[in-house]
Amino acid sequence: MDKHMNIPFVDLSAQYATIAPDVEAAIAGTLKKSDFILGQNVNLFEEEFADFCNAQYAVGVDSGTSALELALRAYDIGPGDEVITQANTFIATALAISYTGATPVLTDADPITFMMDPEQVERAITPRTKAIIPVHLYGHPADMDPIMEIAEKHGLIVVEDASQAHGARYKGKRVGTIGHVGAFSLYPGKNLGAYGDAGIIVTNDSAADKQMRLLRNWGSVVKYHHEIQGFNRRLDTLQASILRVKLQHLDDWNASRRRNAQLYTELLSKSNLVLPTVGTYAEPVFHLYVVRTEARQQLMSYLSERGITTIIHYPLPIHMQPAYAELGHKMGDFPVTEAHAQQILSLPMFAELTSEQIQYVANAICEFESEMQVEVELLEPVAA
Ligand SMILES: *Cc1c(COP(=O)(O)O)cnc(C)c1O
């Protein structure tokens, strides 16, 4: 075993160190100008993020959850409506649907890619279905073409949950611009993250853009004139000024994540782990590097003893969460999601991860497997 290292799951301070002077200048600039609410940097960040995605419009909001909720509300989705999403996502996807008064309808995942399964979506459609939310989970684009075909056939709105996939491409297009609307979280740990909560929505639909601008700001464009009963869900100018600095690095950071993933994949190719599978249609951005193993608990503790932090995304599928008991599901309803939830493990992943750190993680995994192998061999004669 090489010398002991401590490898965090994500290292936000390592990233900050690479951009500190620019971030500090941006913060100082905003403090000086003091246009804290819907200031100039909010407009500029919206323009730059829209350009980055090649979308016509972008609307800054206070979180990814708000981005999803306001996107649905912009299309009048509410009580009595159903919105189809997937059981293997972060709970915010489902909660955003519930906040509008609509009902989340869950589907099982594709067994290989772990993305939304279009066949399951089609089967879940009822006369009440209004929208579909595919999630570009772990930074891997969902297979959008069949989803868009189903949506067109049934007259449904598609809101992409791109919270884990800023900059990823599906058949050459940035995710978030394939459906009617794309919702992004800008939570600190995401591929593009603020220094606090933030989110943004992109669209090419000018009516939806107008509606989302009203919804985030008390239904108002002209101060003290309120067209609808909107909310206070604005993106802070301070966060926007930081995000403008970080956006300039996003393509490079995503390229580093892909290189890191490539190195994990090379070093682990002979291990017994199931490694991430990426559809040929996709250019992923590896928000997470998720492997599968039946010995997950043992591997997690083994790595933890060696200073390596791993996390499970997510241990309990939405349909098994107490918060969603009202949906009336039981174990067995989504077998792919349930089986994966028992086996998935996310290895440390961030742009600044060094090849030395990746090597250390891979070595630890290989050592774990050979120690397990010895144990099995020792046990066998006893069992015979
Ligand atoms: C992070 C995340 C969200 C929620 O974003 P917040 O900014 O934390 O509100 C929604 N969906 C997915 C898939 C996420 O990863």
The residues that bridge with 274 in the sheet, in sequence order, are 292
Atom of ligand 1 nearest to the CA of 164: 15
pLDDT at position 278, please?
74
Residue 322: DSSP 8-state: G
Distance from the alpha carbon of residue 35 to the mean position of ligand 1, in angstroms: 27
Q: How far is the CA of 271 from the centre of ligand 1 (A)?
A: 32
Paired with 59 in beta bridges are: 201
pLDDT one-digit tens code per residue, 112-144: 899 999 999 999 999 999 999 999 999 999 999
Residue 281 pLDDT: 85
How much is the mean pLDDT over the chain? Answer: 96
Gap from CA of 227 to ligand 1 centroid (Å): 29
Instruction: Name the residue at shortest CA distance from atom 7 of ligand 1.
Output: 64
Mutate to test the pocket of ligand 1, among 70, 163, 192 (most ligand atoms within 8 A of CB): 163
CA distance 123 to 105: 11
Pairing of β 82-86 and β 103-107: parallel
Distance 92 CA to ligand 1 centre (A): 6
Pocket test for ligand 1, best of 66, 137, 187 (most atoms within 8 A of CB): 187
* Beta-strand pair 289-292/344-347: antiparallel
State both tokens at 80.
């009595």
Counting atoms of ligand 1 from 1, which one is nearest the CA of 96? 10
Token look-up 């611009």 returns 177
DSSP, residue by residue, 35-84: --BS-HHHHHHHHHHHHHHT-SEEEEES-HHHHHHHHHHHTT--TT-EEE
Contacts of 36 (CB under 8 A, 6+ apart): 30, 236, 237, 238
End-to-end CA distance of the chain: 33
- Model pLDDT, residue 2: 59
Q: How far apart are CA 382 and CA 384, in angstroms?
A: 6
Q: Is the peptide bond prior to 314 cis by the omega test (within 30 degrees of 0)?
A: yes
Beta strand residue intervals within the chain, DSSP E? 57-61, 82-86, 103-107, 129-132, 157-161, 169-170, 173-174, 181-185, 199-203, 282-283, 289-292, 344-347
Give the integer Cα–Cα distance in Å for 34 and 38: 11
Residue at token pair 């010895």: 374
Residue 270 CA to residue 376 CA, distance in Å, equals: 18
Binding-site residues, ligand 1, Cβ < 6 A: 63-65, 89-90, 92-93, 135, 161, 163-164, 185, 187, 197, 199
Beta bridge partners of 86: 107
Q: Is residue 37 classed exposed, middle or buried when 0-12, 13-18 and 19+ CB atoms within 10 A define those classes?
A: exposed
> Could you report the per-residue pLDDT of 287-312, keeping only the tens digit for each?
999 999 999 999 999 999 999 999 99
199 backbone dihedrals φ, ψ, rounded to 5°: -160, 170
Q: What is the pLDDT of residues 18-54, one digit of tens each?
A: 999 999 999 999 999 999 999 999 999 999 999 999 9
Residues of the chain with pLDDT below 70 are: 1-2, 379-384
Residue 96 alpha carbon to ligand 1 centre in Å: 10
Provide the 8-state DSSP code for 187: -
Helix axes 355-383, 250-267, angle to 10 degrees: 30
Q: Which of 59, 66, 57, 35 is nearest to 233 (CA)?
A: 66
Q: Please tell me whether residue 352 adopts helix, strand or coil conformation.
A: coil
Helix axis angle, 237-247 to 40-53, nearest 10° = 40
Whole-number Å distance, alpha carbon 31 to ligand 1 midpoint, is 28
How far is the centre of ligand 1, averaged over its atoms, from the C-alpha of 224 (Å)?
31
What's the pLDDT score for residue 384? 45
